[in-house]
Amino acid sequence: MHTAPLVLLMMGSDTDLPIMQEAVGILRKFDIPYEMRISSAHRSPARTMALASEAAGRGVKIIIAGAGMAAHLAGVVASKTILPVIGVPMPGGALNGVDALYATVQMPAGIPVATMAIGKAGAKNAGLFAVQILALSEPKLARSLLNYRAEMDKELEQKDAELQLR
């Protein structure tokens, strides 16, 4: 049986896929059903808007949108839905992601986009932020997130202990 996606991951181009895989890795780790779509605010605007406006009706709870350069994807998606939209600026191009960061984060008042860091860190955090939102109404997920944090803490402690032995 196909599980309905809770998170819709959108990206402006297939060239964004290697970065967006970081978000996918997190969603898989926490067992969150997701769907990935390539759709561009500029190159396929009608399809992008349809995907955004139909998402809530399909049971999607959160949209993650990654795009580079003049990155309007997250903003356009946010304009067509009241689901929370998490934006991930892609690196690359002449400005290496700073253009995408500004384009994604500088939304006019009224249509928010929760913007993450540029690139892999941002994509990973987008996945985690989506899990955190879902955990508000899912105690099991909240426990998994606390375990994830505890693991990170333990890993660093281990690295520190190794450093002391050098």
The stretch among 9-17, 114-122, 148-156, 158-166 that binds ligand RP5 (CB under 6 A) is 9-17
In the shown chain, the binding pattern of residues 40 to 59 toward ligand RP5, with x for contact by CB under 6 A and - for none, equals: x-------------------
Q: Which of residues 58-117 bind ligand RP5 (CB under 6 A)?
A: 67-69, 90
Question: Residue 73 or 133: which CB sits closer to ligand RP5?
Answer: 73
Instruction: Give the binding-site size for ligand RP5 (rule: CB under 6 A).
Output: 10
Distance of CA 121 to the CA centre of its chain: 10
Nearest-approach distance from CB 69 to ligand RP5, in angstroms: 4
Question: Residue 68 or 87: which CB sits closer to ligand RP5?
Answer: 68
DSSP assignments along 106-142, one per residue: -PPTTS--EE--SSHHHHHHHHHHHHHHHHTT-HHHH
Nearest-approach distance from CB 90 to ligand RP5, in angstroms: 4
Give all strands (DSSP E) within 12-138, no chain letters: 34-38, 62-67, 85-89, 114-115
Distance of alpha carbon 147 from alpha carbon 145, whole angstroms: 5
> Which tokens hold the place of 56?
């809530």
Question: Do 41 and 113 form a contact (C-beta atoms < 8 A)?
Answer: no
Nearest-approach distance from CB 57 to ligand RP5, in angstroms: 25
Q: Which of residues 122-151 bind ligand RP5 (CB under 6 A)?
A: none
CA distances from 27 to 7, 103, 140 (A): 8, 25, 15
Question: Residue 4 or 50: which CB sits closer to ligand RP5?
Answer: 50
Instruction: Tell me if 13 contacts ligand RP5 by CB under 6 A.
Output: yes
